[in-house]
Amino acid sequence: MMVRYLAFLALCAILSLAFGQAPRPNGVGTASLDSVDPGENEFEEREETPCHNEFRTYDGTCTNERHKTWASAGRPHFSYFPNRSSRTPTGRELPSPRLISNILCKQVGNVYNRRGLSELLTFFGQFLDHTIVASPVDKTQPMPISVPPYDPVFQNFSRGNMPFERTERGKMEEHSAVEGPINSLSSAIDLSSVYGSDELRAKALRSYWKGGMATSAGNNLPINTAGIRNAPTKESKYFLAGDHRANEHPVLTSLHTLFMREHNLICEELAERFPDWDDEQLFQMARKINGAQFQKIVYEQFLPAITGRRLKGYRGYRSEANPTVSNIFSTAAFRVGHTLVGNGINRRGPFMWKMASLSMQQMFFRPVDVLREGIEPFLRGAIFNRAQEIDPLVHDSLRNFLFTGIPQENGFDLIALNIQRGRDHALPTYNEIRRLCHRRPAHFFSDITRSASLQSILLHLYGTPDRVEAWVGLMSEDHLPGSSMGPTLLRVWAAEFERLRDGDRFFYRQWGLFPKEVWDAVPRLRSMYYERDTLRSIILRNSDVKHYEIPYDVFRSMV
């Protein structure tokens, strides 16, 4: 089914994985790091899990020590409306999501981001999304998307419908009758996209030599020779990574590769300074340091770049803060990335020499390009080029031709999927989200946007602001000065990342996170905390990209 492969950017739902079996290593803390398979909703079992004080579990259990299942894999999304069930979908009286996509979202030409954000920011957002969100679907619950008559692309597609399956449901709390859509990944910002959200998958990614991660020729990600479930298939021509979507396009694959290589560099440093440590100790400490670096990039580079704002000051871990990704954020607010994507993958050679651009359709699930060219052309190209604007407009590469290069798969409309997923998850309306953010509801479409043409389209599709759906309204807002977001979207993001930060006892700024002997012996830690060790630094350490080729801030384009 097409729905298996519909996770393209930072903000997208896709099938969960079944994980392959691998040998169990012996070492420090192994029992405490056991995981419950993603998709299980066994709260009692997880609440009884003993929490390891030094290292994370793979599935996110014990991210919050008082509420052990918060942020864990297989748990329903956090809801701001805890008594509202998502069992019954919404929007049956509204226009087809495909019709909305055709009328509202068709983009002609480029609408570049006015603040100069780079395409690398777009794809880093996807990498972050694949660290914290994946929506397993229930194949017994079809909810097809109606294709309107005379559709310019899909009028003869699947007898007038696009296939769509509802997300699996689970109880919001142990003794609750209210159900919510499940997230099959840990919600913790823990680099599970590199290490996996399940111990079985995590084992398959390790070399078991001095704490390292497995690699393939050219210091690339390992090849999936074990036949572990993968997207688009488990064939051995695809890379294996912590998240099953790592092969979707070469920039995403390149980011996975960077952080895998960074782990192995950290292991080399640790092994030199602690020669008596065994493989397990080296692996877990390198994983912890790598995850802390990733969190710093998210909170000190990515968020300020895209939002133009800083979060409230960090005051330490708070056990009452729930670090579970919310339904509103994962299903609507975090799907800004789809509007940021251009129509192709840009490549640049040494000294930023221009190489031929490739269309999105050509690049889906082609790991051979990374094997042949390396990660450097794709990283340089993503840094050089400017992202599109955050708005309702989306290029046809995502609306009409998604994954058309995969044998036996048809095109699809990712924006129609966004809207249908919002209805599947029974998201609150845009006005309900405004109220949640302590903003007065929009009484007129001019309260959402100053654009007369956009007001007219929203009026035609929805009739009244009270019917506007979450994703549509959030993407349609006028941006605040100095930000790429409107006021409601900005508040949703701020609330989300503050919860994910404050409820995580392993957050990188938490006092005493690293033992003193590690802090004193590893200069990388002091560089990370006290200096500007950035994503640029990780790129330079782990690729052949040169310091004179890329700007200091790789989230700002060079054009």
Q: E strands within 234-380?
A: 344-345, 358-359
H/E run at residue 369: helix 368-373
The Cα–Cα gap between 373 and 363 comes to: 13
Q: Is 338 annotated as a binding residue?
A: yes
Q: How far apart are CA 32 and CA 23, in angstroms?
A: 17
The answer to whether the beta carbons of residues 71 and 187 sit under 8 Å apart is yes
Chain-centre distance for alpha carbon 5: 15
CA 416, chain centre distance (Å): 19
- State the Cα–Cα distance between residues 411 and 432, nearest whole angstrom: 33
Look up residue 362 and give its two tokens. 């050509």
d(CA 514, CA 223): 33
Give the closest residue to 392 by CA, choosing from 122, 90, 103: 103
Q: Do residues 243 and 202 lie in contact, with contact meaning Cβ atoms separated by under 8 Å?
A: no
Q: What is the DSSP string of 419-481?
A: HHHHHHTTPPPHHHHHHHTT-PPPSSGGGT-S-HHHHHHHHHHHSSGGG--HHHHHHHSPPPT
Residues 102, 148 contacting (CB under 8 angstroms) = yes
| CA gap 50, 68 in Å, rounded | 9
CA-to-CA distance for 206 and 8, rounded, in angstroms? 26
Strand partners, 145: 162
> Which amino acid is it at 402?
L
Question: Could you give the CA distance from residue 262 to residue 267 in angstroms, rounded to a whole number?
Answer: 9
Q: How far apart are CA 484 and CA 388, in angstroms?
A: 11
Q: Are strands 137-142 and 344-345 parallel, antiparallel or unpaired?
A: unpaired
Distance of CA 285 to the CA centre of its chain: 24
Q: Are 424 and 167 in contact (CB under 8 A)?
A: yes
Q: What is the rounded distance in angstroms from the CA atom of residue 51 to the CA atom of residue 120?
A: 36
**What is the DSSP annotation of 489-508?**
HHHHHHHHHHHHHHT-TT-T
Binding-site residues: 338
Binding-site residues for heme b: 338
